[in-house]
Amino acid sequence: MTRPAADEFNEYYRRYIDLVPDGDILATLKAQMAETQGLLASVPADREEYRYAEGKWSVREVVGHLVDTEHLFAFRALWAARGAAAEQPSMEQNAWADVSNAGGRPLAELAEEWAALRRAVVLMGAGFDEGAWSRRGVASGNAFSVRAAMWIVAGHELHHRRLLEQKYLGEGA
């Protein structure tokens, strides 16, 4: 599977897509799952509500955001893969986080939900035929391909995993 071309996504998402190594995106998504599960399992209970700065999400809220975003982009990929023509609305991440209840849920529960969702995303992608990967949809006023949506899923997760490692769980955190 080749990396999405620049005309397959809004430039905003390049910051996520560029984090993903070349190669089989489904293999990447599977490998990420094990790495992220390991990281989340290593979070001490007393760090689940940690925020590295005023106004930033807690560890739990970051994982809740990963769950929401994975749901959203998987749906966008499915919508486009099935040839649906209607545009999808945007997502305001802070508004979603405010009502997600992720901060009140145990990290282990959030991590389990994310892992189950990631397994479903990989299975969904494995079921796409060659034509589905290049189909396009529109969300938030921007065109995207199914391939780009799946690469965004991988890059977005990697971005937040790195933030968790560096700002929430790293030395000095």
Per the rule left: phi > 0, alpha: psi between -120 and 50, beta: everything else, 141 is left
Is residue 172's pLDDT more than 80?
Answer: no
Q: What are phi and psi of 107, to 5 degrees?
A: -60, -40
**How confident is residue 173, by pLDDT bands cut at 50, 70 and 90?**
low
Q: Which one of 3.40.50.720, 1.20.120.450, 3.30.2010.10, 1.10.357.10 gives the CATH number of domain 9-168? A: 1.20.120.450
CA distance 38 to 41: 5
pLDDT at 1: 77
CB 93 within 8 A of CB 65: yes
Q: What is the pLDDT of residues 129-167, one digit of tens each?
A: 999 999 999 999 999 999 999 999 999 999 999 999 999
Domain ranges in the chain are: 9-168
